[in-house]
Amino acid sequence: MKKNILKKIFSAVAAVAVATVMPLSAIGCGNDGPTWTPPQNTDEYNIPQDYARTYYEVFVRSFSDGNGDGIGDLQGLIKNLDYLNDGDDSTMTDLGVNGIWLMPINKSGSYHKYDVIDYYQIDDEYGTLDDFKQLVEECEKRGIWIQMDLVLNHTSNQHAWFKAAVASAKAGKRPTTDKAMKKYVFQVSEDMPTDKGTWHKVAGTNYWYLGNFSGSMPDLNLDNEEVRAEILTIVEYWLKKGVRSFRLDAVPWAYNTSANYNQENGEFWSWFCQNCDRLGRQVYGESTPDLPVYCYNVGEVWGGGSDSIKSFFRTGMSCFNYEMAAAYNKGFSGAVNGNDRAYSYVTKQVRNQQDALAVDPNALLSNFLSCHDNNRSAGNHFGFDVAKIKQAAALYLLSAGNAYIYYGEEIGAAGEKYGDNEPDSNMRMPFNWGDASKGITTNPPQTNYEGTQELGSWASQTNNENSILTFYRETIKIRNRFPEIARGVMKQYALDANSGLGDPDEILEASGKKYLDSVNKLNDNVAIYTITYKDNTLLFFHNLSEEKDATIDVSAFAGYEITASLKTRSGSATLTGASLGLPAGAVAVLALPKAA
């Protein structure tokens, strides 16, 4: 694949789905061999080389074991890159993702590696810097950009800096003047400090340090100039090694003890994003000219309300779209499960994009269903209902902005913790390859996990046209075919009393009604929006009903034709004249035909 323009080939997209959860024998090939041969791609398209991408979140430890010790590693990931993107324009057997978010890979003392001991090394369990170099080279061949998890809120208590700080504390030095302790947040007190946050005592002393997440993860003092200088050195180091962007851990907690934005957070993250852009421009400005930013950052901001998230966008970063994630059973999952009206879902997503663009004209939403901190969506939010899983996938993959796929989501992976005392590792289970040659991992150990991977494995789904995996592949191909989807601006449409398309506010005003479902009940079931980019407009329809078909008058978009479609249940979209037939579960993308 080319570095500046990726030439792809795309076949007519049509996914055959099932209405209910099917037994493994029905959704996979089992022992009877492949039941379906994926078609070859036939339509050519281009993917601009920028930060608008489809990202795949990888917990390296649980993805693929390359050396037989049961622990996933970089060599295992390299071996299976063809599954994510094989670099072959003619195939449809890869997912087609063009970004990888690597959860922490730095030297660490834990299984999850969010407590960094050395920011300049790869953890021994995962491999070496040479392995990372090979990963970058192989990703570049496939047009994949690497996003690295960067943990700046805290270090490990085994980091050399913190060991020096503890030594100073035990020597009775003053926290306000000692160089080592000033890199963290220390106080001297007989009793636990009453300042906000979680404090931990240095054994045998009356010194306390701030560690909001754990005593093994002491918080850094991000006001310290030496700390800030080191952060920029770390960023430059990894940019020069091929990292293109960063996922930023615990963003609000840099200067807070909650998910809310405050002025100190705003100052620090603005400083960080501006310097990342400067350093990224130095490294990548010549090879990828004319980018709006040269280091794309996406922050972990769980909540705090839309105003708080909008404020974090103002710093120059993106934020994960938690309001729409399955984690809170809202947005994508809420619409699919009937907890949210279809038109209300679109209203929220359009507002989220408008809020972000209002403070950053280059803003990209970061859409996802679940991640390593959340119960997996397939079982926890969709009850392993294959049709619902597909519907949710179509919503977030065909929405404006970046899409983040948590490894295994594309095969309906299971995994959840059943209470606060259950281990997070239950949500980070080994990828279910179903094929020993792919490097099946055995770590991390699971505790009290009651579920099973009942929707099957990669092996049972890869050659079956009805599988969740096939649906993901085909939906991502639509994203790749149309640059408008990731990069464009969304606008909401709704149905009037005659099932014609119009602006929601104008429909309500003309009807004298208060709610769109009072004008036309189909507004409860059918999500309708356009995405426009560089004067090209796509028109999207998602019929989220489990059983109700819809007929829609699309004469407001004269000349538009169905250019891509998906089905999550039993029927495909059809267009007869200006009448769009949208069976329950169907997805349709309409566009003006391209000039010959």
Give the separation between CA 248 and CA 243, rounded to whole angstroms. 14
Distances (CA, A) of 182 to 114, 134, 173, 209: 22, 38, 11, 11
Q: How confident is the model at residue 18 (pLDDT cuts 50, 70, 90)?
A: very low
| pLDDT above 60 for 580 | yes
Give the separation between CA 85 and CA 145, rounded to whole angstroms. 11
Kindly state the average pLDDT of the residues 537-553: 97
> Which pLDDT value is given to residue 480?
93
Q: How confident is the model at residue 565 (pLDDT cuts 50, 70, 90)?
A: very high
Kindly state the average pLDDT of the residues 213-227: 97
Which residue intervals of the chain bear CATH 3.20.20.80?
5-152+243-267+295-484
Q: Write the CATH number of the domain with boundaries 489-591.
A: 2.60.40.1180
> Which pLDDT value is given to residue 447?
65
The total of other beta-carbon atoms located within 10 Å of residue 409's CB is 24
| pLDDT above 70 for 477 | yes
Dump pLDDT digits (tens) for 494-524.
999 999 999 999 999 999 999 999 999 999 9
The fold of the 5-152+243-267+295-484 domain, in CATH, is TIM Barrel (3.20.20)
Q: How confident is the model at residue 34 (pLDDT cuts 50, 70, 90)?
A: low
Q: Give me 173's structure tokens.
A: 């030095």
Query: Which residue type sits at 218?
Result: P
| pLDDT above 60 for 312 | yes
Q: Give me 34's structure tokens.
A: 């492949």
Dump pLDDT digits (tens) for 441-465.
998 876 666 667 899 999 999 999 9
Classify the C-alpha dihedral 94-349-424-426 as positive or negative. negative
Dump pLDDT digits (tens) for 237-284.
999 999 999 999 999 999 988 888 999 999 999 999 999 999 999 999
Kindly state the average pLDDT of the residues 6-15: 33
| pLDDT above 90 for 306 | no
Catalytic residues: 249, 300
Nearest-CA neighbor of 245 among 191, 190, 291, 214? Answer: 291
Which SS3 state, helix, strand or coil, does residue 459 take? helix
pTM of the shown model: 0.93
Distances (CA, A) of 105 to 109, 131, 416: 11, 12, 23
Strands (DSSP E) contained in 394-474 are 402-406
| pLDDT above 80 for 31 | no
| pLDDT above 90 for 143 | yes
Give the separation between CA 506 and CA 314, rounded to whole angstroms. 31
Dump pLDDT digits (tens) for 422-443.
788 889 999 999 999 999 999 8
Kindly state the average pLDDT of the residues 336-356: 94
Dump pLDDT digits (tens) for 100-123.
999 999 999 999 999 999 999 999
> Which pLDDT value is given to residue 443?
80
Which residue intervals of the chain bear CATH 2.60.40.1180?
489-591
Kindly state the average pLDDT of the residues 225-248: 98
Question: Could you tell me what percentage of the chain is helix, strand and coil, using 3-state DSSP and rounding each to the nearest 5?
Answer: 30, 20, 45
> Which pLDDT value is given to residue 307?
81
Q: Write down the mean pLDDT value for the chain.
A: 90
> Which pLDDT value is given to residue 325?
85
Compute the half-sphere exposure of residue 86: CA atoms within 13 Å on the CB side of its CA: 12
> Which pLDDT value is given to residue 122?
98
